[in-house]
């Protein structure tokens, strides 16, 4: 398994939106309403597709060189990349232990109130980083 993959995607624009295909990855077919959404959806679909192939222990095809991909009418070509370690961790929902320090009086209050400090820390960190589950 590699950490980073990049594949060529074809973006086909039509009146009802944008459909995306990956010539090397049949069945990886996201769609979108705007080009910004199309790029995001293409990256997410690529990560999901690769993760599924990894889980099934299937070989990933070699990417077709960019200059060998032919565009049809109303199509554009782009290279979409995905960084798999972050993607794998998110999909595996793997937890890691982190040690942190806080004042004893605050820890006592949290314990007295039955606070789940791990959950509070996760929510605060996601909020701080601007990420969603």
- The residues pairing with 11 across neighbouring beta strands, listed in sequence order, are 20, 76
pLDDT value for 91: 84
Q: Token pair for residue 58?
A: 């299937």
Q: Taking all residues of the chain, what is their mean pLDDT, rounded to a whole number?
A: 92
pLDDT value for 1: 85
Q: How many CA atoms lie within 13 A of 65 on its CB side?
A: 2
Burial of 19 (0-12, 13-18, 19+ CB in 10 A): middle
| Residue ranges, CATH 3.30.160.250, the chain | 4-92
Instruction: Kindly report, residue by residue over 36-90, the tens digit of the pLDDT.
Output: 999 999 999 999 999 999 999 999 999 999 889 988 889 999 999 999 998 898 8
pLDDT value for 131: 85
What percentage of the chain carries pLDDT values higher than 90? Answer: 68
CATH architecture of the domain with range 4-92: 2-Layer Sandwich (3.30)
Global pTM reads 0.70
Pair 28, 45: CB distance under 8 Å: yes
| DSSP symbols for 70-105 | PP-TTEEEEEEEEEHHHHHHHHHT----------HH
State the sign of the Cα–Cα–Cα–Cα dihedral 23, 25, 27, 28: negative
pLDDT value for 132: 79
């Amino acid at each position: 398994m590699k950490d980073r993959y990049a594949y060529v995607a074809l973006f086909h624009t039509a009146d009802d939106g944008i459909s995306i295909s990956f010539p090397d990855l049949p069945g990886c077919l996201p769609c979108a309403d705007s080009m910004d959404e199309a790029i995001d959806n293409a990256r997410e679909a690529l990560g999901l597709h690769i993760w599924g192939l990894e889980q099934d222990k299937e070989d990933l095809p070699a990417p077709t060189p960019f200059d060998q991909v032919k565009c049809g009418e109303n199509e554009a070509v782009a290279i979409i990349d995905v960084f798999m370690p972050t993607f794998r961790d998110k999909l595996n929902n793997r937890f890691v232990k982190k040690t942190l320090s806080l004042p004893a009086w605050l820890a006592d209050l949290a314990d007295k109130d039955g606070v789940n400090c791990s959950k509070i820390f996760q929510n605060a960190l996601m909020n701080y980083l601007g990420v969603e589950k």
